[in-house]
Amino acid sequence: MDATHAATLPGQDAAHPDGQYGRAAKWFHWITVGLMAVALPTGFVIKFITGEAEGAYKMAFYAIHESAGLTILFVAIARILWKRRNPPPPHPPGLPAPMRIAATATHHALYALLIVQPILGFLATNAWGFPMQGRTAYLGLIDLPRFMEASTGIATVLSWGHTIGGYMLLVLLVAHIGAAIFHHAIRKDGTLMRML
Protein backbone atom coordinates (compact mmCIF):
# COMPACT_ATOMS: atom_id res chain seq x y z
CA MET A 1 0.00 0.00 0.00
CA ASP A 2 1.59 3.30 -1.04
CA ALA A 3 1.61 6.37 1.17
CA THR A 4 -0.61 8.37 -1.16
CA HIS A 5 -3.36 5.74 -1.13
CA ALA A 6 -2.97 5.12 2.60
CA ALA A 7 -3.57 8.79 3.33
CA THR A 8 -6.92 8.68 1.50
CA LEU A 9 -8.42 5.87 3.59
CA PRO A 10 -10.96 7.24 6.11
CA GLY A 11 -10.37 6.22 9.71
CA GLN A 12 -7.06 4.52 9.03
CA ASP A 13 -5.00 3.71 12.13
CA ALA A 14 -3.01 0.82 13.56
CA ALA A 15 -6.14 -1.23 14.30
CA HIS A 16 -7.72 -0.37 10.93
CA PRO A 17 -4.98 -0.58 8.27
CA ASP A 18 -7.54 -0.54 5.45
CA GLY A 19 -9.55 2.34 6.89
CA GLN A 20 -12.91 2.01 8.62
CA TYR A 21 -16.55 2.98 8.43
CA GLY A 22 -17.66 6.04 10.35
CA ARG A 23 -19.39 5.87 13.72
CA ALA A 24 -22.89 6.40 12.28
CA ALA A 25 -22.37 3.66 9.66
CA LYS A 26 -21.30 1.26 12.39
CA TRP A 27 -24.36 2.12 14.47
CA PHE A 28 -26.67 1.56 11.49
CA HIS A 29 -24.97 -1.77 10.77
CA TRP A 30 -25.08 -3.18 14.30
CA ILE A 31 -28.61 -1.94 15.03
CA THR A 32 -29.71 -3.74 11.86
CA VAL A 33 -27.88 -6.89 12.99
CA GLY A 34 -29.67 -6.78 16.35
CA LEU A 35 -33.07 -6.27 14.75
CA MET A 36 -32.48 -9.11 12.29
CA ALA A 37 -31.44 -11.37 15.18
CA VAL A 38 -34.99 -10.83 16.44
CA ALA A 39 -36.95 -10.71 13.18
CA LEU A 40 -35.52 -13.77 11.42
CA PRO A 41 -35.88 -16.38 14.20
CA THR A 42 -39.36 -15.22 15.19
CA GLY A 43 -40.43 -15.22 11.54
CA PHE A 44 -39.19 -18.75 10.94
CA VAL A 45 -40.82 -20.28 14.04
CA ILE A 46 -44.26 -18.60 13.96
CA LYS A 47 -45.81 -21.28 11.76
CA PHE A 48 -44.73 -24.01 14.17
CA ILE A 49 -46.61 -22.50 17.13
CA THR A 50 -49.78 -24.57 17.46
CA GLY A 51 -52.05 -26.04 20.10
CA GLU A 52 -53.57 -24.42 23.17
CA ALA A 53 -50.83 -21.81 23.43
CA GLU A 54 -51.32 -20.72 19.83
CA GLY A 55 -53.51 -17.70 20.47
CA ALA A 56 -51.46 -15.73 22.97
CA TYR A 57 -47.97 -16.91 22.01
CA LYS A 58 -48.52 -16.72 18.29
CA MET A 59 -49.80 -13.14 18.53
CA ALA A 60 -46.80 -12.25 20.70
CA PHE A 61 -44.42 -13.68 18.10
CA TYR A 62 -46.23 -11.81 15.32
CA ALA A 63 -46.03 -8.57 17.32
CA ILE A 64 -42.29 -8.95 17.91
CA HIS A 65 -41.56 -10.08 14.35
CA GLU A 66 -43.59 -7.35 12.67
CA SER A 67 -42.29 -4.56 14.90
CA ALA A 68 -38.68 -5.65 14.36
CA GLY A 69 -39.28 -5.95 10.61
CA LEU A 70 -40.85 -2.53 10.25
CA THR A 71 -38.07 -0.98 12.32
CA ILE A 72 -35.55 -2.62 9.97
CA LEU A 73 -37.33 -0.87 7.09
CA PHE A 74 -37.07 2.52 8.81
CA VAL A 75 -33.41 1.98 9.73
CA ALA A 76 -32.58 0.79 6.19
CA ILE A 77 -34.19 3.87 4.61
CA ALA A 78 -32.36 6.17 7.03
CA ARG A 79 -29.14 4.29 6.38
CA ILE A 80 -29.43 4.61 2.60
CA LEU A 81 -30.24 8.31 2.82
CA TRP A 82 -27.31 8.88 5.18
CA LYS A 83 -25.01 6.81 2.96
CA ARG A 84 -25.78 8.99 -0.07
CA ARG A 85 -24.13 11.94 1.70
CA ASN A 86 -21.48 9.88 3.49
CA PRO A 87 -19.97 7.35 1.07
CA PRO A 88 -18.34 4.26 2.61
CA PRO A 89 -14.55 3.86 2.51
CA PRO A 90 -13.17 2.27 -0.65
CA HIS A 91 -12.46 -1.43 -0.82
CA PRO A 92 -9.10 -2.42 0.65
CA PRO A 93 -6.30 -2.00 -1.88
CA GLY A 94 -5.27 -5.23 -3.53
CA LEU A 95 -8.72 -6.80 -3.29
CA PRO A 96 -9.24 -8.91 -6.45
CA ALA A 97 -11.90 -7.68 -8.87
CA PRO A 98 -14.17 -10.77 -8.45
CA MET A 99 -14.26 -10.16 -4.69
CA ARG A 100 -15.07 -6.47 -5.20
CA ILE A 101 -17.93 -7.41 -7.53
CA ALA A 102 -19.23 -10.09 -5.15
CA ALA A 103 -19.07 -7.73 -2.16
CA THR A 104 -20.86 -4.94 -4.02
CA ALA A 105 -23.55 -7.30 -5.36
CA THR A 106 -24.14 -8.82 -1.92
CA HIS A 107 -24.44 -5.41 -0.27
CA HIS A 108 -26.89 -4.16 -2.91
CA ALA A 109 -28.98 -7.34 -2.60
CA LEU A 110 -29.02 -7.03 1.21
CA TYR A 111 -30.14 -3.40 1.05
CA ALA A 112 -32.88 -4.30 -1.45
CA LEU A 113 -34.20 -7.10 0.77
CA LEU A 114 -34.05 -4.94 3.89
CA ILE A 115 -36.52 -2.66 2.09
CA VAL A 116 -38.66 -5.20 0.21
CA GLN A 117 -39.01 -7.83 2.97
CA PRO A 118 -40.70 -5.62 5.58
CA ILE A 119 -42.98 -4.09 2.95
CA LEU A 120 -44.09 -7.53 1.73
CA GLY A 121 -44.69 -8.68 5.31
CA PHE A 122 -46.58 -5.53 6.22
CA LEU A 123 -48.82 -5.76 3.15
CA ALA A 124 -49.35 -9.50 3.71
CA THR A 125 -50.64 -8.96 7.24
CA ASN A 126 -53.04 -6.34 5.91
CA ALA A 127 -54.18 -8.67 3.13
CA TRP A 128 -54.81 -11.44 5.67
CA GLY A 129 -57.00 -9.01 7.58
CA PHE A 130 -54.59 -8.52 10.50
CA PRO A 131 -53.19 -4.98 10.30
CA MET A 132 -50.70 -3.89 12.94
CA GLN A 133 -53.30 -2.93 15.51
CA GLY A 134 -54.23 -4.05 19.01
CA ARG A 135 -52.14 -7.05 20.08
CA THR A 136 -49.86 -6.66 17.05
CA ALA A 137 -49.56 -2.84 17.13
CA TYR A 138 -46.19 -1.44 16.12
CA LEU A 139 -43.87 -1.66 19.16
CA GLY A 140 -46.95 -2.74 21.11
CA LEU A 141 -48.18 0.86 21.24
CA ILE A 142 -48.86 2.36 17.81
CA ASP A 143 -51.86 1.20 15.79
CA LEU A 144 -51.12 1.54 12.09
CA PRO A 145 -53.94 2.13 9.62
CA ARG A 146 -55.27 -0.69 7.46
CA PHE A 147 -53.93 -0.28 3.93
CA MET A 148 -56.13 -2.76 2.08
CA GLU A 149 -59.15 -4.96 2.45
CA ALA A 150 -58.63 -8.63 3.27
CA SER A 151 -57.98 -10.77 0.21
CA THR A 152 -56.86 -14.40 0.50
CA GLY A 153 -55.48 -14.44 -3.05
CA ILE A 154 -53.34 -11.34 -2.60
CA ALA A 155 -52.33 -12.42 0.90
CA THR A 156 -51.12 -15.79 -0.37
CA VAL A 157 -48.96 -14.23 -3.08
CA LEU A 158 -47.51 -11.66 -0.68
CA SER A 159 -46.82 -14.32 1.95
CA TRP A 160 -45.02 -16.53 -0.56
CA GLY A 161 -42.91 -13.56 -1.62
CA HIS A 162 -42.15 -12.76 2.02
CA THR A 163 -41.16 -16.38 2.73
CA ILE A 164 -38.89 -16.58 -0.32
CA GLY A 165 -37.36 -13.24 0.64
CA GLY A 166 -36.67 -14.56 4.13
CA TYR A 167 -34.70 -17.51 2.79
CA MET A 168 -32.85 -15.28 0.33
CA LEU A 169 -31.96 -12.96 3.19
CA LEU A 170 -30.66 -15.89 5.21
CA VAL A 171 -28.46 -17.04 2.29
CA LEU A 172 -27.07 -13.53 1.80
CA LEU A 173 -26.36 -13.17 5.51
CA VAL A 174 -24.46 -16.47 5.57
CA ALA A 175 -22.47 -15.30 2.53
CA HIS A 176 -21.82 -11.90 4.12
CA ILE A 177 -20.71 -13.33 7.47
CA GLY A 178 -18.70 -16.08 5.76
CA ALA A 179 -16.90 -13.51 3.62
CA ALA A 180 -16.06 -11.39 6.67
CA ILE A 181 -14.59 -14.45 8.44
CA PHE A 182 -12.74 -15.47 5.25
CA HIS A 183 -11.17 -12.02 4.94
CA HIS A 184 -10.14 -11.96 8.58
CA ALA A 185 -8.95 -15.55 9.05
CA ILE A 186 -7.69 -16.53 5.57
CA ARG A 187 -6.75 -13.36 3.70
CA LYS A 188 -5.83 -11.60 6.96
CA ASP A 189 -6.76 -8.20 5.57
CA GLY A 190 -8.57 -5.35 7.32
CA THR A 191 -12.06 -5.95 5.89
CA LEU A 192 -13.71 -7.18 9.09
CA MET A 193 -12.03 -4.52 11.20
CA ARG A 194 -13.56 -1.75 9.07
CA MET A 195 -16.92 -2.31 10.82
CA LEU A 196 -15.53 -2.81 14.34
Whether 7 maps to a domain, the answer reads: no
- 40-81 pLDDT, tens digit per residue, is 999 988 888 876 555 677 888 899 999 999 999 999 999 999
pLDDT at position 17: 62
Query: Among 92-96, 123-127, 140-144, 161-165, which stretch is predicted with the lowest mean pLDDT?
Result: 92-96
DSSP label at 138?
A: B
Which segments of 26-177 are extended strands (E)? none
Would you report the helix, strand and coil content of the chain in percent, each value rounded to 5?
70, 0, 30
Question: Is residue 13 situated within a structural domain?
Answer: no
| Phi and psi based region of residue 139 (left: phi greater than 0; alpha: psi -120 to 50; beta: remaining) | left
Report yes or no on 146 lying in a domain.
yes
Instruction: Express each pLDDT in 106-132 by its tens digit.
Output: 999 999 999 999 999 999 999 999 889
In a domain, 165, yes or no: yes
* Residue 27 maps to a domain: yes
Instruction: List Cα–Cα distances, 139 to 21, 60, 136, 163, in angstroms.
Output: 30, 11, 8, 22
The HSE-up count of residue 173 (CA atoms within 13 Å, CB side) is 14
- Residue 18 in this model has a pLDDT that exceeds 70: no
CATH of the domain at 86: 1.20.950.20
Sign of torsion, CA 39 105 185 174? positive
Q: What total of structural domains would you count in the chain?
A: 1
